[in-house]
Amino acid sequence: MPFAGVPGTYNAITDVDGVAVGYRTIIRGDGPLVVGQGPVRTGVTAIHPRGLSGIGVPVMAGVHSLNGNGEMTGWAWIEECGRTEMPLLLTNTHAVGVAHDAVIRWMQQQRPTTAPLWCLPVVAETFDGKLNDINGFHVTTADVTAALEAATAGPLDEGSVGGGTGMVCYEFKGGSGTASRRVVVGEGPGFEGHRGHEGTVGVFVQANFGRRPLLTVAGAPIGRWLAEQEERAGGKDGIELPEQGSIIVVVATDLPLLPHQLKRLARRAGLGVGRSGGIGGHGSGDLFLAFSTGNAVFFGPGGGPRALLAVPDDALSPVFTAVVQATDEAILNALVANEAMVGCDGHRVPALPHDVVERWMRHMTRGPG
């Protein structure tokens, strides 16, 4: 697909040095919904901003809500102090409580030398109740622990994995997606004689939003074409859903950015969602968090003043561009990586049809073929 920008080695949030991601995917059972038994299509995603070796070292952070029908714990502390100290967890709406408790327990039991006495974890959610027995509370402390301990750097699986297992995006199978962009700040007009500084922006999404006719791929109205094709064929493939889903976007960078700058990055994730076709519907929980792995020295012991590095505000436009590009592509990657899924009561969500999308993209400059 003709996406703009230069991705990192893995085209993933893990291209930001130190970031590690782990999954726990829970799929079992078929047939009618029996609350407490299944079918189960859910999971947990754990993101370690500084990897497993950096547990307990905070990162500077900023948050933004495009539409607030959702939950991200720890939000008020990030707004107050511009930092977060814990791994970030993504799961389903009704598993926020167990995930919140489990990550505190894990920090205390598994990392006794680095776990703070006082913990405010970040746990974010989207709703998977169309495919998953969400009121059966199938995510356990052991599942959260497994996701935390499984975190690795390098290439990542995408699609129906981790917290994204039971999610639906543009009425196709959605879920977990990621992308990255290389970026240079401080060069070009206005920065004559400056060499520029290279960095990486990585994005991870848990995508569970959108109506099919709105899907836009690299500027092409793919969703509208697909919807028209389905109408001619006599009906929609899969269940029909209202625009009341949600998306969680986590933006990471190794550029040394300050909290107010990271809040600006978090806002730009909304432009990436919009570029893919999202509108931030009334019932949608569109919550974004951005963090920087720079300036670790700021969080060292002692109370004396210390120096910080930061990219000047007027050099941030290329970083904003990278956030928009990577968010847009991460959403598509969540769709492309998927297969159709059948969940509770036989509800079926189709996968994005690769062959049809490819055909439309090949011919978009001269009309559908």
Give tens-digit pLDDT for 42-60. Answer: 999 999 999 998 988 999 9
pLDDT at position 230, please?
80
- Output the CA–CA distances (angstroms, integers) from residue 47 to 10, 91, 136, 154, 272, in the order listed: 16, 12, 25, 13, 21
Contact 64, 75 (CB under 8 A): no
The ranges assigned to domains in the chain are 13-363
Residue 302: CA atoms inside 13 Å, Cβ hemisphere, count? 6
pLDDT at position 111, please?
67
* Start-to-end CA span in the chain (Å): 17
Does domain 13-363 bear CATH number 3.60.70.12?
yes
pLDDT at position 235, please?
63
What residues are labeled active site?
246, 284, 286
- Count CB atoms within 10 A of the CB of residue 218: 16
Question: Which residues, 6 or more positions from 163, have their beta carbon under 8 angstroms from its beta carbon?
Answer: 42, 43, 44, 45, 89, 90, 91, 92, 125, 126, 176, 206
pLDDT at position 369, please?
46
- Count CB atoms within 10 A of the CB of residue 325: 25
- Output the CA–CA distances (angstroms, integers) from residue 332 to 172, 175, 311, in the order listed: 11, 10, 30
pLDDT at position 346, please?
95
* DSSP letter (8 states) at residue 53: G
Bridge partner residues of 48 (DSSP): 20
Positions of the chain with pLDDT under 70: 111, 113-116, 188-194, 234-244, 365-369
- For residue range 247-261, what is the model confidence (pLDDT) as tens digits? 999 999 999 999 999
Distance CA 226, CA 203 (A): 27
